[in-house]
């Protein structure tokens, strides 16, 4: 800090540290492990140097300023005033200081003036006293107190909104030194040492310091990237802010949180139908203790109990339907478990040497297969891009026997690999499916797709397949009126017990989405525990046809 040589005269000039209304240098943002953040005014290194008392300020606090000036040997004391106005018509604090008998270290006298308001601009002046003589006041110097750190959060949580497409944040705090709360959301993780400080599709909402909750409307959740029908949750952080005229301080709740957006019931008025998605885990990749010959009975029991009208079945090769790959085969296992009526739309390979693992299972007592799919040649499929091998999504046209309403059903298994390159490929595959069914569905009938997308909201990349389908108007049925076991990942890895996801919501590789019939009465994930039928859990949803 620059110092001015002492001088005695009738006029007390000063060397000051100026605090501009808009600081000349950058604002400092400091974070601690306690979650406290302070944004403080910083100062330009240049100072105005004049002769005289050399008034200066340093070590500013939330309720005080530390004033210093050049020691003047001839003075008997000093008077300090602090005012809210430059003309000192609103003096808020005074301080008298006896002069030091000896020259203090550095040649500077100092006094602390307190009982001030935090984050506030003040004007300070000083004059010397010699007996009964008082010199003129020094030119005033503007100073700023620091902002007080807001009170701690006691608790932060969220609840599903009461209306479709809404969600509610809640928090508990005494709220001292708090002017506002800032809630930042994103559809990906953010703000930790290993993830970006700003998440995907980040948005910030602000409410007053007297508030203890915030409900996002359907329009706001949609803008935040997790609107009705997306099936997405919102990650969020909350920060308490003291925003004064001269300084800002903030305290953030130290944990990244998540919230669920309320879904809605079926909007259709037709037959309530159940659709399922189930990855069997292909027999050729069996692991010790989880062999297809044993698992097929457990899978059949799951299907028989849930009793979907139509199901998308992944990793079911033709030999697994019959006894070629061990056991009695899924067809016979279904009969043994009390569901003898189920049929596949195709039981043969699409091409020689390329069996394709994508199948559609249906109950002919509920729906009638309307597609003319010749099993002796490739038929009823949508070709999707894959640099490694021929890759298809199967489709079929069905008619509801109860109402006569027709609808399309698609079963697809997208490429595996949790990296950005494969994420982009899955996006291309999803687009090919969406475009393909649009070309086939000239009547604009309802469509259901059941898929192992190998991608979820928390995957690497941008969850391209679901993003593509949502952009094309598809509805994710996990955005249902009732959701059961949504906190678990749909891939269990044969681990028991399966623990809830650390994110608070499961990674859903397995998905059921609809087109032209939004909403779902129920979405459920079947958690069986050991012995696991497959390394994926079956999911199913109840949706009313139009």
- Compute the half-sphere exposure of residue 194: CA atoms within 13 Å on the CB side of its CA: 0
**Model pLDDT, residue 420:** 86
Q: What angle do CA 188, 193, 194 make, to 5 degrees?
A: 55
Residue 28, both tokens: 């400092």
**Model pLDDT, residue 192:** 73
- Tell me which DSSP letter residue 287 carries: B
Q: How far apart are CA 123 and CA 11, in angstroms?
A: 18
Q: What angle do CA 506, 265, 427 make, to 5 degrees?
A: 45
Name the 3-class secondary structure at 18. Answer: coil
- Which parts of 349-453 fold into alpha helices (H)? 420-440
**Model pLDDT, residue 193:** 65
**Model pLDDT, residue 38:** 46
Element (H, E) at 221: helix 218-223
**Model pLDDT, residue 221:** 98
Is the distance from CB of 543 to CB of 521 less than 8 angstroms? yes
**Model pLDDT, residue 35:** 53
- Tell me which DSSP letter residue 322 carries: S
pLDDT along the chain (546 residues), means of 10: 32 34 32 45 35 77 94 96 97 96 94 96 96 94 96 98 98 97 96 78 97 98 98 98 96 96 98 98 96 98 98 97 96 98 95 84 98 92 93 97 98 93 96 98 98 95 96 98 98 96 96 98 97 98 98
**Model pLDDT, residue 358:** 95
Q: How far apart are CA 261 and CA 438, in angstroms?
A: 29
C-alpha closest to that of 415 among 378, 361, 471, 459: 459
- Tell me which DSSP letter residue 285 carries: G
Q: How far apart are CA 25 and CA 41, in angstroms?
A: 9
Q: Which residues pair with 484 in a beta bridge?
A: 524
Residue 214, both tokens: 């915030």
Is the distance from CB of 214 to CB of 167 less than 8 angstroms? no
């Amino acid at each position: 800090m620059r110092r001015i040589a002492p001088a005695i005269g009738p006029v007390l000039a000063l060397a000051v540290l100026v605090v501009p209304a808009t600081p000349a240098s950058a604002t400092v943002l400091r974070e601690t492990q306690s979650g406290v953040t302070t944004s403080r005014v910083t100062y330009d290194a240049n100072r105005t140097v004049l002769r005289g008392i050399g008034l200066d300020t340093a070590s500013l606090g939330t309720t005080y300023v530390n004033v210093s000036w050049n020691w003047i040997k001839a003075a008997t004391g000093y008077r300090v005033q602090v005012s809210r106005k430059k003309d000192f018509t609103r003096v808020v604090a005074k301080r008298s200081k006896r002069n030091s008998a000896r020259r203090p270290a550095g040649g500077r006298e100092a006094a602390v003036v307190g009982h001030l308001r935090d984050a506030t601009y003040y004007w300070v002046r000083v004059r010397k006293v010699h007996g009964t003589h008082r010199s003129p006041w020094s030119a005033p110097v503007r100073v700023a107190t620091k902002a007080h750190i807001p009170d701690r959060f006691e608790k932060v949580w969220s609840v599903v909104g009461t209306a479709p497409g809404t969600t509610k944040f809640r928090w508990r705090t005494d709220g001292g030194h708090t002017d506002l709360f800032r809630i930042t959301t994103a559809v990906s993780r953010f703000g930790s040492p290993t993830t970006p400080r700003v998440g995907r599709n980040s948005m910030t909402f602000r409410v007053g310091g007297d508030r203890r909750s915030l409900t996002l409307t359907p329009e706001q959740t949609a803008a935040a990237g997790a609107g009705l029908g997306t099936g997405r949750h919102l990650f969020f952080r909350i920060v308490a802010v003291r925003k004064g005229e001269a300084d800002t301080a903030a305290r953030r709740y130290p944990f990244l949180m998540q919230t669920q957006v309320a879904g809605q019931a079926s909007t259709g008025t037709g037959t309530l139908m159940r659709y399922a998605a189930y990855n069997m885990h292909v027999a050729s990749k069996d692991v010790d203790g989880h062999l297809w010959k044993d698992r097929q009975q457990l899978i059949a029991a799951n299907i028989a109990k849930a009793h979907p009208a139509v199901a998308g079945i992944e990793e079911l090769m033709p030999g697994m339907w019959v006894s070629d790959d061990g056991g009695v085969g899924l067809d016979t296992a279904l009969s043994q478990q009390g569901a003898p009526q189920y049929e596949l739309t195709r039981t043969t390979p699409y091409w020689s040497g390329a069996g394709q693992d994508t199948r559609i299972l249906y109950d002919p007592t509920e729906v009638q297969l309307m597609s003319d799919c010749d099993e002796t040649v490739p038929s009823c499929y949508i070709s999707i891009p894959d640099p490694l091998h021929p890759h298809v999504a199967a489709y079929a046209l069905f008619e509801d026997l109860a109402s006569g309403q027709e609808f399309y059903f698609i079963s697809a298994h997208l490429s595996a690999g949790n990296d950005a390159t494969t994420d982009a490929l899955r996006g291309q595959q999803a687009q090919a499916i969406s475009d393909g069914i649009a070309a086939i569905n000239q009547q604009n009938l309802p469509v259901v797709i059941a898929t192992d997308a190998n991608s979820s909201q928390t995957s690497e990349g941008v969850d391209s397949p679901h993003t593509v389908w949502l952009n094309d108007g598809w509805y994710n049925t996990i955005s249902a009126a009732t959701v059961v076991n949504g906190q678990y990942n749909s891939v269990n890895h044969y681990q028991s017990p399966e623990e809830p996801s650390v994110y608070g919501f499961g990674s859903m590789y397995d998905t059921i989405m609809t087109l032209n019939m939004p909403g779902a009465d129920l979405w459920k994930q079947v958690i069986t525990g050991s012995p696991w039928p497959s390394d994926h859990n079956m999911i199913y949803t109840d949706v009313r046809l139009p």
